[in-house]
Structure 1
């Protein structure tokens, strides 16, 4: 099962990814983690990324896609993977498609957690207030102002990915405002149906 998980910050992607990892026995691939691992391992593309980052520049799409290409060749990703936080732009989505096609593999599904963003902001604010009331420090991601900035960046840069995959008929939209178990249940039943369709072809 080769998946992309989409949704704004706070939609529950991390929680659902962890459950899918357990269910399907496939790794969740975060571009940040892969980038750090490639640099630490000193792979050719890792060294290229390190040189770019050391110069204070952003790692270009072709290097990020090259790192994804290396990672999905590893044994634990042979059965599939979950991409989280990538692609973020149409250019990255195109580059990912071409890279997967060159390996003779394709994505099985793109799952988007649909959420009411105003309620999401309220939820984060409430969580931050409860944390403060307990006398605990508020996590950076739970700071309402930081969250609003991340949400604005998502809407500006990454929200365009959904229509791209929808046009290709691969987008599965899931109501992410329900309970964690209900969201998991719908994702799993949808993917199971997809699996059955693939096997029956």
Structure 2
């Protein structure tokens, strides 16, 4: 049986999704396809889709589902995705999940698994709200609990001031979690009804979470 290589990765802000997506894609030898990368690639190449998306992004709005879906469709048809892919940040709602199902159906392929990274809300707030960024162009990153600077409020590398981004404030994090709960958690339930979703804890070291994810995918493979 071929390994599971068509995977959707979901998880709340602060779950380490981007890090795990990159690592898992490398382990599985499939492209890591994130919505952010799709937007940037299309905009930098000035594709028709990119030009349309830029209008919304410049106005501070979310890129509409239909544009995101078209970009994902184009990306998944590239040669390097022929034997699989890891989707990160897409689908972000049930409408996108349904559209993805239709897209895959037209290509006569199916998803293998949906990997859900689970983190308690308190830990998410601690992870994100504890981040401090250096004001220098290098933007060195520290954390008040996990990787604190030697001197409070001062970057170890260049001596510049450390600050908390507005996006990292506890109030903003809670709002982001509300959006995730409203829009993306239903996606997990959607895939659970299809028997595709598998949930793992995203607590622990990066290596531990990667190992846990690969073991979960192997179990899913054995169950098929």
Q: 3-state DSSP class of the match of 1:174?
A: strand
When the two chains are superposed, the root-mean-square deviation of aligned CA atoms in Å is 2.5
Deviation at 1:127, TM superposition (A): 4.7
1:120-160 deviations in Å (ceiling 9; x for gaps): 22343445533582524246354433322322221222221
How many Å separate the matches in 2 of 1:125 and 1:52?
Answer: 28
How many Å separate the matches in 1 of 2:210 and 2:79?
Answer: 26
Q: Which moved more, 1:35-44 or 1:6-15?
A: 35-44
Deviation at 1:58, TM superposition (A): 4.3
Whose helix proportion is higher, 1 or 2? 1
Contact 2:200 2:216 in 1 (8 A): no
Structure 1 position 187 matched with structure 2 position 206? no
Residue ranges of structure 1 left out of the alignment (5+ in a row): none
Q: Which runs of 4+ in 1 moved over 6 A?
A: none
How many Å separate the matches in 2 of 1:180 and 1:106?
Answer: 29
1:51-100 deviations in Å (ceiling 9; x for gaps): 56567764321221111000111122222111111111111110111011
- Calculate the TM-score normalised by the size of structure 1: 0.84
Contact 2:10 2:116 in 1 (8 A): yes
Q: Which moved more, 1:70-79 or 1:138-147?
A: 138-147
Instruction: Describe the shift of the 1:139–1:20 C-alpha distance in structure 2 as closer, same or farther (beyond 3 A).
Output: farther
Residue ranges of structure 2 left out of the alignment (5+ in a row): 133-143, 156-161
1:7 corresponding residue in structure 2: 11
How many Å separate the matches in 2 of 1:108 and 1:29?
Answer: 16
How many Å separate the matches in 1 of 2:169 and 2:198?
Answer: 30
How many Å separate the matches in 2 of 1:61 and 1:100?
Answer: 16
Contact 2:32 2:88 in 1 (8 A): yes
Q: Which of 153, 164, 178 is the aligned partner of 2:179?
A: 153
- Calculate the TM-score normalised by the size of structure 2: 0.77
